[in-house]
Structure formats: structure tokens, C-alpha cells
Homo-oligomer: A and B are copies of this chain.
């Protein structure tokens, strides 16, 4: 089994891209990722993985693997779409890592793409609910935000946590997005403003939800032993791990912890031979403030029930103990579903390279990204490391 490195990363702005289709977004991000490497010829790419969730329902387009090979002018290469709801990006990366680890391929392009703007609000609501149980949960009227609201309220009750503790997660994201040229929502906010924004599903406020946006992001992978030939700023993939949980939130023994995140993290720490205390910079899946909060706990940074206060006390800010979502997170960078897991990785790469501009975390050497699908039914955890 071979070790794997990330050679290059690229992404589009996250936003409403009325002027671009899925193929345009994929092309733009991929081209930037390739240009970010020393690969002189795109035909060196031997495999493509595309993370995407909703293109079938929203664009009436599947088969994004072959489409993308065509868009890049390298038809012929093995290519497929990988889907694991909102964790499609992280899952696509996991498959790309396996392809190289197996020794079967040397240069692999992993992209994520989503275009939600093409959908009306009810369509987007239906599309996102495809991540949970259509036959039992959606059928009885549960929506994705509604189910997350159950967790949010239960968390507050169980741990005696106030609304502003949880809202703090959004404040951090918006602060960090201000300096991210790719972010969808580049404005600062406060816990007061978050809690004064309209309720989407009580107790979740509008400013606690990741918005609907369009975007694509891409990575170029290669064997670690060859990375130096093609980049002075390659980053090692020290661990790539995915796990699942009981599919439906309401059928789990415990709704306040995502077992998939715990499992994936445990395996990732094991394979990177490190622990939470070694992480310099973190990306977590804050589709809602409550999901970001619980994720901090699931990944082993604080005990269960202590996440909200940890966040509220400023620990995840750029100058805190655990700088988190340093480019804005899902909340403020935006959440183009199938691409989100790839944006997280690109942002970690910028941090570990020391290229995060005003949001640079000093001496960042090890980063962790957690990407969640459904309401915690799938999670991927990647640990990246600078080795130079």
C-alpha cells in the first residue's frame, strides 16, 4: 500500500452561478487544480472521481464521470461519480486515495460539484432530504432542517446549553469568510444577529444554516514518493477514513453523537498515529451550527456536551486553541453539497502550505477535515500533513 499526496487544488467561487453549468464549474476547478501542480500534460491523469449528490434530480444529468473526462479533453480515462449525500466529496477523495494506494493509478483527479441554484426552494428541500430516509422519514413530512432542529433542541435541554452558545459557531464562520475570496457569504455577524434572524425550524435560525449554493473544487493526487517531482508544496494524506451509522436519525440509540464521525476519526487517528491534540487546524461539517458543535465533540476535541461552550469561549477562532473552519466553513464559505468535502481539503492544503493569507494559522503542520452525509449517516475524516 502506497502513501498518497495532494499535488494541487483548485476551486470556483461558491455562489449562484447562473452563468455556468455543472460542466463549466467542473472544468474551471479542475483546470485550476492542474495548474497548481507541475504536471505538464493533463493526459498524465489516469483516473477521475466526481463527488456529487443532486445532479440527477436537479439537472437531469447523471454520468458525471464520463462527462468530466470529456470536459477535460481526456476521454478514455476511468471515471465515475461517487455519491454519499453531503459527504460525496470526502467519499470521492477516499476512493481516489484507494486508487493510488492500490498501485493501480499514479495521477488521479478528484472533484466535487453541485449546482443547487437551478432548483426552486421546494425542489432543493426535496433534494437535500434524499440524504435521509425517503421511505420513512420524508414520507411522514420530516425535512432535513426539521430533523436537525430535533437534535438542536435536545442538545440544549440535555446539556443545559443556551441558544447563543450554539449560535457562536456561525459567528466564527462568518468572521473567517471575510478574507476568503471564494466564500458565498462574506459578512460578519454576531450571536445577537444570528438569534434575531428568522426561525427556519425552531430552534434553528436562518443564520445557523449553510445556504444553498453552486460550486466545484478539485484536487490532484499522486503517490507520496513521486510528489516532489511535481510540486514544491505537496501535502501528505496521512489518513483517509469513512464510516456509516444507522441510516435514520430517529432510529439511533443516541441522537446527540454521530457514531460515523467517531468511528471514522478513531480509524484516522490510528492510521496517522496521532491524536486530537496534534491537530493544528480543523475543518468540520457545520451544515447547521448544531452539527458543527457536535462534530467538535465527536472528533475527540472535547467531551460530549462541552462543544457549545468550547466554541462560545472562542477556542475555535483563528487565535484560539483549535482554529476551525478558517475559510468560513459550510455556513459562510458556502455548502455546494457534493463539493463541500473537497473545498475543506483545498482550504487545509492552503493552511498547511502557509498560503492562507490573513487567516493563516501559524506553523500549521497537521490538519483534519470531517465531512458528513445525511444527519451523520456517513462521515469521512481526512488528516493532512506537511512533511517539508
Q: Which A positions have Cβ atoms within 8 angstroms of B?
A: 1, 21, 23, 53-54, 56-57, 59-67, 69-71, 75-85, 91, 94-95, 98-99, 101-104, 126, 129-135, 138, 241-248, 259-260, 263, 373-374, 377-378
Contact = CB atoms under 8 A, between A and B. Distances in A.
Nearest to A94: B78
Nearest to A241: B78
Copies in the complex: 2
A76 B245 contact: yes
B65 A244 contact: yes
Q: Which 7 A-B pairs have the closest CB atoms?
A: A102-B102, A70-B247, A56-B56, A61-B134, A66-B377, A62-B130, A63-B85
Nearest to A56: B56
Contacts of A103: 1, 101-102
B59 A56 contact: no
A54 B80 CA distance: 15
B104 A98 contact: yes
Given A70-B246, A75-B247, A76-B263, 16 more contacts: A1-B102, A1-B104, A56-B130, A57-B60, A60-B130, A60-B134, A61-B134, A63-B84, A63-B85, A63-B130, A65-B91, A70-B247, A75-B246, A78-B241, A82-B82, A98-B104
A129 B60 contact: yes
A75 B253 CA distance: 13
Contact of A84 (B56, B59, B81, B248): B81
Contacts of A245: 66, 75-76
Contacts of A85: 62-63, 66
A250 B78 CA distance: 21
Given A94-B78, A95-B80, A244-B79, A66 B373 contact: yes
A126 B61 CA distance: 9
A81 B78 contact: no
Given A60-B129, A102-B98, A66 B84 contact: yes
B77 A84 contact: no
Contacts of A247: 63, 66-67, 69-71, 75
Nearest to A378: B66
Contacts of A79: 84, 242, 244, 378
Nearest to A252: B75
Contacts of A62: 53-54, 83, 85, 130-131
Nearest to A91: B80
